[in-house]
Structures are given as structure tokens and as C-alpha cells.
């Protein structure tokens, strides 16, 4: 079921106008929040007509679902690239490094999935279901890397690291990104040391 929720809605490459709408939504939703950005602004900044927007999406909720699925694909592709050489420790460290770089990025506004979940509090809502599916996928992928690394409790360790990452993403946005990054680094280093023990 998780894979179904995260799968793209179309098998063909998107039309250029649809891609522009999605790229605009990604930027605006990430920078300003989903609920604050209206359809008229999306249309204007995407440089499409209202008819084109409705042809491709029909409603804002379908665009939000594509936005979350697209964010998932970006993270999944990046994780696959990190793990491509089969070195689980290098992949875990690369994931940490990418997260630390994100915490330090100018304009960082927190984790897109946590922010989306906050805007869609009903767990039964389709958007929230995709967020949950992404988080389940991420924890499972991290657990698999930790298992490959030799961790005795890879599922538990992955859960700990997912929550540590959540805290670092929120803490960096709301407070001190340096302290958040240092705390996250300690959590990842502990998990790696446990796997080596």
C-alpha cells in the first residue's frame, strides 16, 4: 500500500506546463506553506492559464498530492544514489551530510513532510496518508542500511534516527541550526558505533 501511495500518478513525462506548475508549487509550498498559497498565485507564477491549470490538476489538492509525491521521489532518488556503491556506512554518513547541509541552507524552513503533516492534521486525509507512507518508507530504508551495517536492532535504531532528524529539522528552523546539527550528528555517530560493536 505504501508503494501505491507514493507512486507517480502518470507514467509519461509531464507536459512542460504541468512541470512548471509543480516546480512553482514546490518552491511556494516549501517557502510559504501550502494553505497560504492560492490557485491564482500558482497560475500567475507558473505562467499558465487557468484552463491549463485545471486541465492538469483539476483542484489544488491533486497538486498538493503531486507535490508530496515529487518530494518523496527526490529523496528516494538521492538515497538510491548514496547507497549505490553498497557501502552502508558511507550511505548513512551521506544521509547525515545531506541533512546537515539542508539545515544550513539559506531560507531553510523545516522539513517539507513535517510541515505538510502540520497543515493536514487529519490522518485519514489523502495528503497526510502520502506523508505517512513516505515516513514509513524512509524508516524502512534507514533500517535496511543499519542492518547492512551490522546493527543488532536496526528497526529501533532507524526509529531513533528518524525522530532525531525530525527534531533537528524542527530545531534548526525554530532555533539554533548549529546545535541541532551537532545533536543529530551525535545520534548518527551513536548508531554507527552500535553497529560496529
Average pLDDT along the chain: 92
Per-residue model confidence (pLDDT) at position 86: 81
Q: What are phi and psi of 9, to 5 degrees?
A: -80, -20
Dmax over CA atoms of the chain, in Å, equals: 60
Element (H, E) at 175: none
Handedness of CA 103, 105, 106, 110 (dihedral sign): negative
Structural domains of the chain ordered from first start: 9-58 (1.10.10.60), 61-196 (1.10.357.10)
Condensed to tens digits (0 to 9), the pLDDT of residues 97-156 reads 999 999 999 999 999 999 999 999 999 999 999 999 999 999 999 999 999 999 999 999
Condensed to tens digits (0 to 9), the pLDDT of residues 153-189 reads 999 999 999 999 999 999 999 999 999 999 999 999 9
Cα 52 to Cα 19, 40, 82, distances in angstroms: 12, 12, 37
Contact 180, 168 (CB under 8 A): yes
Measured CA to CA, the distance from residue 121 to residue 133 in angstroms comes to 15
Element (H, E) at 106: none
Torsion (CA) 189, 136, 175, 24 in degrees, nearest 10:
120
CB atoms within 10 A of CB 159: 14
C-alpha cell read off for 150: 551490522
The residue-averaged pLDDT of 26-49 equals 96
> Can you tell me whether residue 34 is helix, strand or coil?
coil
Contact 49, 18 (CB under 8 A): no
Amino acid at each position: 500500500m505504501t508503494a501505491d501511495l507514493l507512486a507517480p500518478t502518470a507514467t509519461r513525462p509531464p507536459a512542460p506546463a504541468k512541470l512548471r506548475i509543480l516546480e512553482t508549487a514546490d518552491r511556494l509550498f516549501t517557502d510559504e506553506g501550502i494553505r497560504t498559497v492560492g490557485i491564482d498565485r500558482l497560475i500567475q507564477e507558473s505562467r499558465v492559464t487557468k484552463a491549463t491549470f485545471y486541465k492538469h490538476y483539476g483542484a489544488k489538492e491533486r497538486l498538493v498530492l503531486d507535490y508530496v509525491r515529487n518530494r518523496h521521489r527526490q529523496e528516494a532518488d538521492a538515497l538510491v544514489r548514496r547507497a549505490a556503491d553498497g557501502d552502508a556506512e558511507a550511505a548513512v554518513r551521506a544521509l547525515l551530510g545531506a541533512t546537515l547541509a539542508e539545515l544550513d541552507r539559506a531560507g531553510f524552513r523545516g522539513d517539507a513532510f513535517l510541515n505538510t503533516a502540520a497543515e493536514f492534521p487529519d490522518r485519514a486525509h489523502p495528503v497526510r496518508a502520502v506523508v505517512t507512507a513516505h515516513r514509513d518508507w524512509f524508516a524502512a530504508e534507514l533500517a535496511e542500511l543499519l542492518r547492512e551495517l551490522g546493527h543488532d536492532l536496526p528497526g529501533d535504531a532507524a526509529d531513533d534516527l528518524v525522530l532525531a532528524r525530525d527534531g533537528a529539522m524542527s530545531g534548526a528552523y525554530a532555533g539554533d541550526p548549529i546545535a541541532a546539527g551537532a545533536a543529530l550528528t551525535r545520534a548518527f555517530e551513536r548508531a554507527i558505533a552500535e553497529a560496529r560493536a
